[in-house]
C-alpha cells in the first residue's frame, strides 16, 4: 500500500472541511472489536482534523472494521474499511483512504489528470520541494510522490 503525506496546494492557509464520518459498531463487541474501534476512531479523528485544517473536502464517510480486509480500503461511494492489521489503523492510512473517497484512483476525472499529467497547483508545489524535474506519477489508483491532491470530481479540477 502506498502511504501518503498530505499535499494540498493551499497548504499555508486554513480551510473549512465538511467531512463527516461514522463508525459502524457491533451492539455487543468482542475485545478485538473494541480495540479496533478505539484505534480506528483515533485514526479517523486525527485524519479528519487534518483535512479540516488544510482542505475544503466535503464527504460523508461510512467506516467499518472488516477483519478480512488485508490493510484498509475505500471507494468513492464513501465506504471505508479497516482490516484487522493494527499497523494500518493510523492517521496516515485514514488520510490515504479518505483520499479514495474523494476521488483519488476512483473516478474518470482522476484518470484524465493522470493521463494528461495535468496537476495545475500540485505540480508547482512539488517542484518547489524537489526541483524543476519533479513530476507526479500515477498507477494502480494511486499517485506519488507525497500522495494527496483533492479533485473536484465533476469538473476534474484540482482544488
Q: How many angstroms separate the CA atoms of 94 and 143, rounded? A: 16
pLDDT digits (tens, 9 = 90+) for 89-143: 999 899 989 989 998 888 888 888 888 887 887 788 888 888 999 888 888 888 7
Q: What is the domain partition of the chain in residue ranges? A: 12-101, 108-158
pTM of the entire structure? Answer: 0.75
79-82 and 157-158 strand pairing? unpaired
Q: How many residues does the chain have?
A: 159
Lookup result for grid cell 476525472:
109
142-144 and 5-6 strand pairing? unpaired
Residues forming beta bridges with residue 81, ordered by sequence position: 64, 73
Amino acid at each position: 500500500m502506498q502511504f501518503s503525506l498530505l499535499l494540498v496546494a493551499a497548504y499555508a492557509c486554513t480551510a473549512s472541511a465538511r467531512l463527516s464520518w461514522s463508525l459502524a459498531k457491533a451492539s455487543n463487541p468482542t475485545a478485538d472489536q473494541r480495540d479496533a474501534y478505539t484505534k480506528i476512531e483515533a485514526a479517523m479523528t486525527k485524519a479528519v482534523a487534518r483535512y479540516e485544517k488544510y482542505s475544503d473536502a466535503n464527504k460523508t464517510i461510512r467506516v467499518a472494521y472488516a477483519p478480512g480486509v488485508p490493510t484498509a480500503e475505500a471507494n468513492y461511494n464513501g465506504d471505508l474499511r479497516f482490516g484487522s492489521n493494527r499497523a494500518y489503523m493510523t492517521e496516515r492510512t485514514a488520510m490515504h483512504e479518505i483520499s479514495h473517497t474523494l476521488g483519488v484512483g476512483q473516478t474518470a476525472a482522476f484518470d484524465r489528470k493522470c493521463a494528461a499529467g495535468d496537476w495545475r497547483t500540485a505540480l508547482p508545489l512539488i517542484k518547489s520541494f524537489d526541483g524543476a524535474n519533479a513530476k507526479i506519477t500515477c498507477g494502480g489508483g494511486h499517485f506519488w510522490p507525497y500522495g494527496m491532491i483533492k479533485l473536484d470530481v465533476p469538473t476534474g479540477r484540482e482544488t
